Structure 1
Amino acid sequence: MTLIGIISLTSCEDLDGLFGGDGGNELTTAQVVEGLKEALEIGTDSSVNFLSAVNGYYLSEFKIPLPEEIVNAQSAINEYSSIRALFNNSLFSFDGEVEKLLKAINRSAEEAAREAAPIFKKAITDLSVKQAWDILNGIVPDNAKSAGLEDFDSTAATQYFLNETSASLTDLYAPKIMMPWEKI
């Protein structure tokens, strides 16, 4: 769900300049909603381009880590020199194989990111006028719990994307990320 967070952060930055008005003229509801949608689309494009590039996941703060069990096994092997010698001989390097797996998983995520834009664009297109106003007012759309909050929720767009895209993104990413595991 890294992609969701990046899109929302980028979009918020883009919104700053969209609602300043021009010479005191008030914006119509349609203009405000279209401005929000445009900012979200810019954020989507920027985020997808970043994460789908080589090392977009693998060498960034968004790197997908290996399960704790593998990390613990690697630490245990490296802790004991006799076991390490067994697992890291000239024919086979456990550390090398772990790193190959980590890289393959993240490369798979980078590949999946290339296909994520339409999922976000659908969520943006489906955004109603009420939902757009909710996001701009810091209310998570379609969330009765946040509607009564007096505090502005700066994560409203992120939460909207989580609600609208999580299932489709899981369907997109999961099979691709599982492929390297199946080759072990």
Structure 2
Amino acid sequence: MKNLFSLSLILSILLVSSCDLLNEALEEPANINIAEGLKEALRVGTDTATSKLAIVDGYLKDEAVKILLPDELESQIASLKAIEINAFGIGTITGEQLYNTGIPLLDIPSLAEKEEELILGLNRAAEEAAKEAGPIFFDAIRGITIADAESILYGSDTAATAYLIDNTYESLFNTFEPKVNNAVNQVTIGDQTVEAIYANFVNEYNGILNTSIPLSLFEQQTLGSIAGINSIEEADISAYATTRGLDGLFLKVQDEEANIRNNVSARVNDILREVFGLLD
């Protein structure tokens, strides 16, 4: 009786183990297919992103990804535009007037047109660099190992893109930044590179702040000291353009991932139809 019980116990253990192994064997191909399907969605998203952004006006005319001035500079300009000064012998000077038209009497140039040139240049540089983004993204996608693919598949509409960002952003930035740096130093607006336009903009902005304003017959102060605005230092405009350029690319990849998840016609090959069909 004891031997019979032991034999039954052994058979039960073997049966459970066999079932577990069978389940793992059956599940493994599905997991591999899901992971590859997610990668394929990211590859298709990258193709779409670069085709939309690596063209003239790809960034510039798309408000969702358009690259504006760095936040610090935007904040400084807003502070400048908000001031109002009563200049002796000249009258009231507003910040809007200073920025938009300048004050020829005080040799203060307008910065509004130069801002437009800088924004144009930043977006042109991003558009140029985006032409080389595809292979960089493909290498990153190929190299990642997607853990818990099933939970990503059944996650949010942009879960795969979020996973890509979390696991490859630093390496993508480091690889993409030299491409953007080349563009910033080679793309020209008029006869100036984007880097030169930015440097000149910062210099002229600081020059405005350092302009002496007559407050009375015997007193003058710099505009910056009157307004309580400090000069700014040049930032790494290449790093800034890289960050914003990647933001735009990832946004378009996210859009395409969501499209593949929710639109059957966007599943352009068998693996996308197989994997994302599980969501239907």
| Structure-2-length-normalised TM-score | 0.42
> What is the rounded CA distance, in whole Å, between the counterparts of 2:163 and 2:142 in structure 1?
17
Residue in 2 aligned with 1:177? 184
* 2:122 matches 1:110: no
In the superposition, relative to structure 1, how do residues 163 and 97 fare at CA in structure 2: closer, same or farther (>3 Å)? Answer: closer
- Aligned positions of 1:1-184 closer than 5 A: 28-60=30-62, 61-72=64-75, 74-75=77-78, 76=80, 80=94, 83-84=98-99, 87=102, 93-127=110-144, 131-138=145-152, 154=159, 155-177=162-184, 179-183=193-197, 184=200
In the superposition, relative to structure 1, how do residues 167 and 39 fare at CA in structure 2: closer, same or farther (>3 Å)? Answer: same
Letter in 2 for 1:133: A
> What is the rounded CA distance, in whole Å, between the counterparts of 1:28 and 1:69 in structure 2?
49
> What is the rounded CA distance, in whole Å, between the counterparts of 1:173 and 1:43 in structure 2?
21
Q: Which runs of 4+ in 1 moved over 6 A?
A: none
Q: Which has the larger radius of gyration?
A: 2
Structure 1 unaligned blocks of 5 or more: 1-24, 139-150
> What is the rounded CA distance, in whole Å, between the counterparts of 1:110 and 1:85 in structure 2?
28
User: What is the CA distance between 1:82 and its match in structure 2?
Assistant: 5.9
Kept in 1, the 8 Å contact 2:99–2:110? The answer is no
User: What is the CA distance between 1:161 and its match in structure 2?
Assistant: 3.2
Structure 2 unaligned blocks of 5 or more: 1-25, 84-93, 186-192, 201-280
Kept in 1, the 8 Å contact 2:34–2:149? The answer is no
User: What is the CA distance between 1:124 and its match in structure 2?
Assistant: 1.7
In the superposition, relative to structure 1, how do residues 44 and 78 fare at CA in structure 2: closer, same or farther (>3 Å)? Answer: same
Bigger share in strand: 2
Residue in 1 aligned with 2:263? none
User: What is the CA distance between 1:56 and its match in structure 2?
Assistant: 2.1
How many pairs were matched up? 143
| Structure-1-length-normalised TM-score | 0.61
User: What is the CA distance between 1:181 and its match in structure 2?
Assistant: 2.3
